Amino acid sequence: MRQSPNRDSKDQGPKKNRQIKAKSVLVIDETGAKLGEMQTRDALAMAQDRGLDLIEVAPNARPPVCRFADYGKILYEKKKRNAKAKKNATTITVKEVKFTPSTGDHDFNTKLKHVQKFLGKGDKVKITIRFRGREMAHKENGEAICTRLVEALNAETQVCEIEMRPQFMGRQMTMILAPKKV
């Protein structure tokens, strides 16, 4: 589809000034008062006399609704709103910590500290227990590690909640922990 020569390909905002192709429009002034239906060229002239832009607010209405406003100010405020929304948005990442059924106490405690650090930062943690060879015969050892880990994390205070219970997938058992919501 070919773009109109007046429309900037990056600018997907409302039509303004000469981009408005309707013969007549319903005009609203900068204070919000309805000025009524008038020819587009007359409305554009009124907007320019006031030092403002004619901006199409409701293009699908019959006739289209346009308003007098400063287009640069509208873009600036929209940019500020988007930046504030982006700043307030939280990104949750999933960290992974791997165990084996034969993980020793010292390694377990080290990995436990890593899990606590990740949960403290607000990240989710995926616990993976890898089974090799004959370890597959003792799946209960993997479940024991999962329960031991959750009990150790929640020993003093409720730090995490189980988002996904331990599940077996192929030669791995996985469990997802999420930080406790306050």
Q: What is the mean pLDDT of residues 20-30?
A: 86
Share of the chain above pLDDT 90, in %: 22
Q: What does the pLDDT look like over 108-167, one tens digit per residue?
A: 999 999 998 998 888 899 999 999 988 888 888 888 998 999 888 888 777 788 888 999
Report whether pLDDT(9) > 60.
Answer: no
Q: What is the mean pLDDT of residues 40-48?
A: 87
Tell me, what DSSP letter sits at residue 102?
Answer: T
Contact (CB, 8 A) for 145 and 111: no
Taking residue 160's Cβ as centre, other Cβ atoms within 10 Å add up to: 20
User: Phi/psi zone of residue 36: left (φ > 0), alpha (ψ -120 to 50 degrees), beta?
Assistant: left
Domain ranges of the chain: 17-85, 94-179
Contact (CB, 8 A) for 145 and 101: yes
Higher pLDDT, 70 or 12: 70
Nearest to 26 by CA among 47, 3, 56, 6: 56
Q: Give the integer Cα–Cα distance in Å for 67 and 57.
A: 7
Handedness of CA 76, 78, 81, 85 (dihedral sign): negative
pLDDT of residue 95: 92
CATH of domain 17-85: 3.10.20.80
Q: What does the pLDDT look like over 84-93, one tens digit per residue?
A: 988 887 778 8
Taking residue 173's Cβ as centre, other Cβ atoms within 10 Å add up to: 22
**Structure tokens given for 1:** 């589809």
Chain mean pLDDT for the chain: 85
The CATH number corresponding to 94-179 among 3.30.230.30, 3.30.110.10, 3.40.50.300, 3.40.50.1860 equals 3.30.110.10
